[in-house]
Chain A
Amino acid sequence: MEKSSYELVKMAARSGRRGGSFHGGYHKRNSGKGEGSHQKILRREPKVDENSPIVASFRTYQSLMDRKNDKFERLVKISRDVTIQSKRAIFHIHRINSGVDKTTVLGEADEKLIAVREKLCQIALELQGEDLYQYIRAFSPGLQEYIEAVSFHHYCLGKGLVSLTQVQTDLEFPATEKPTTEDGECPSHPAVTLYVPPIEYMLGIADFTGELMRLCITSVSSGDMDLPFQLCQFMREVYHGFSSFSHAGSWELSRKMHTLRQSLHKVENACYTLQVRGLEIPKHMLADVFSSQDSEDTGERRNDMS
């Protein structure tokens, strides 16, 4: 009965109405109208016809896709570890202002970086025989954080800006017969290299300038009056380098460039204050001025991260 009235409705109006009342439930549709020849199709849907060549080919697509997605997820996980450990190394390096012996701090930081490299080695192993750029989004945050930590460490050793060649050499892992670590890592692996795309390196360097800014502010509050000027000079060089790029290439790069500009601005202001106030107030009072500024900065940073 229902159907005959159905049929009377004009074709256009009907398809419009039905289309409108359809709210996305796939199975709802199946129960909605019963007896067309499409029933045959519906009946086949729950059990998959394994003999169909279409289904057979989709089985291969399924396994290919799963493999890719699994690898991607594994890389994201390792990358997260790399980020955390690199951040720790960076925080550790910041302690060089707190009166601890500089060489010890940097030595400990170096050990932390070696541990990070072990993780990066795992990434390199995952990427063996793969197109690195297919998975770059999975591990690029970790890689950038690592580059940030390495360049910070390198700079604090007094060696200036770390070069891409140096970073790259660190990430060539020779074939090893490693003792199994607590992560249950495979004991030996062939020689692998984690290729660092230049763009990732640059993005890491851009992040590194943020650390320099923090170091500059904290060093003033701890009473070091020379370091800020050195840092300021170095950051200007880096800023000059960055401003020479045509940043049509990367949206990310121009965004970081903006942050770099802000950091540089802060450092320059700090140096200015140091210069002007340095003439009139004693050192220890000046330190107070900057330590209040520093806490504002770290507060800001925390907001950024959340």
Chain B
Amino acid sequence: MASTSTQETFSKFQEYLTKDQDIREEIRVSVREIEQTAREILTVLQGVHQPTGCKDTVSICKRSREMFVNIRRQYKELAAKLPAEQYYRFHDHWRFANQRCVFLAAFLVYLESDKLITREEAAELLGVQQRREDGFHIDLDDFLMGLLQLANEMSRLAVNSVTAGDYSRPTKIANFVAELDAGFRLLNLKNDALRKRFDGLKYDVKKIEEVVYDVTIRGLNPPPAQKPEAQTEEQ
């Protein structure tokens, strides 16, 4: 008696599952492309760690900025595949790709202007929406994860810029990361992945401070960089 309606219920659900799988498969394809482009951009940006690259930052930034055109196109393609209002249903598929892209964007912006990228700038650079209400966006947690990856990269940059003979940069980096750290302490983090990653930030801060210490103790740090310090001590 009830068997026909029962069967119908199950076949409907099977249809739903199949459709779900199809969308996921398509999303996977798009995300793979984004990840590929992200790797290419990373390869270019890694150039700043080279002794030659330190002096060539401007052209490296220019080249990678051009490559973000591809990322923007790929994000548009991905966004078009999503049903409306269901970003978080598939969130796990692009979570890591987004974190990586935010990191790349943040790294680029820092190299260009010594500033921390804002969420709005990141959205613009990646060609996604700023707010959830408007469609495909970058989840706040993922954005913050990207910034923490940036801090880690900064500790490398501090070390390598010293190796390349640039002794003033570590101090700038130290200030930047300290501010970033202060920012993160404002957040009421839950006991989640972001919290764990944040707990690693202190090691990056410490590494950079050590570099600054090594440079300063040997008097390699140019005097102008120490001047603001003298002022703060007077205050």
Contacts and interface: CB of A to CB of B under 8 A. Distances in A.
Interface string A130-150: 011110100000000000000
A40 B232 contact: yes
B6 A238 contact: yes
Nearest to A37: B216
Contact of B178 (A22, A45, A53, A242): A45
Interface in B210-232: 210, 212-214, 216-217, 221, 225-226, 228-229, 232
B182 A44 contact: yes
A185 interface: no
B5 interface: yes
A57 B213 contact: no
Contact of A131 (B85, B188, B226, B232): B85
A284 interface: no
Q: Please classify how large the interface on chain B is, using the bins under 10, 10 to 19, 20 to 34, 35 or more.
A: 35 or more
B46 to A, nearest CB: 22
B5 to A, nearest CB: 6
B8 to A, nearest CB: 8
A38 B6 contact: no
Nearest to A48: B182
B158 to A, nearest CB: 12
A277 B226 CA distance: 95
A76 to B, nearest CB: 12
Contacts of B217: 3, 7, 36
Given A39-B229, A40-B232, A55-B179, A237 B3 contact: yes
A10 interface: no
A240 B10 CA distance: 9
Given A61-B119, A244-B10, A249-B21, A38 B187 contact: no
Interface stretch (A157-165, A260-268, A288-296): A157-165
Most B CB within 10 A of own CB, among A44, A54, A131, A245:
A54
- Of all A-B residue pairs in the complex, the 4 with the closest CB atoms, nearest first, are A160-B2, A241-B10, A58-B183, A133-B88
Given A48-B182, A65-B141, A244-B10, 12 more contacts: A15-B210, A22-B206, A36-B212, A37-B212, A49-B182, A57-B118, A58-B186, A62-B186, A65-B187, A131-B132, A161-B9, A198-B13
30 contacts: A18-B210, A33-B213, A37-B171, A37-B216, A40-B232, A41-B174, A41-B209, A43-B232, A49-B179, A52-B179, A54-B182, A55-B186, A58-B183, A58-B186, A61-B119, A61-B144, A129-B133, A131-B86, A133-B87, A160-B5, A161-B2, A161-B9, A163-B5, A197-B89, A202-B13, A234-B6, A240-B10, A241-B9, A244-B10, A244-B11
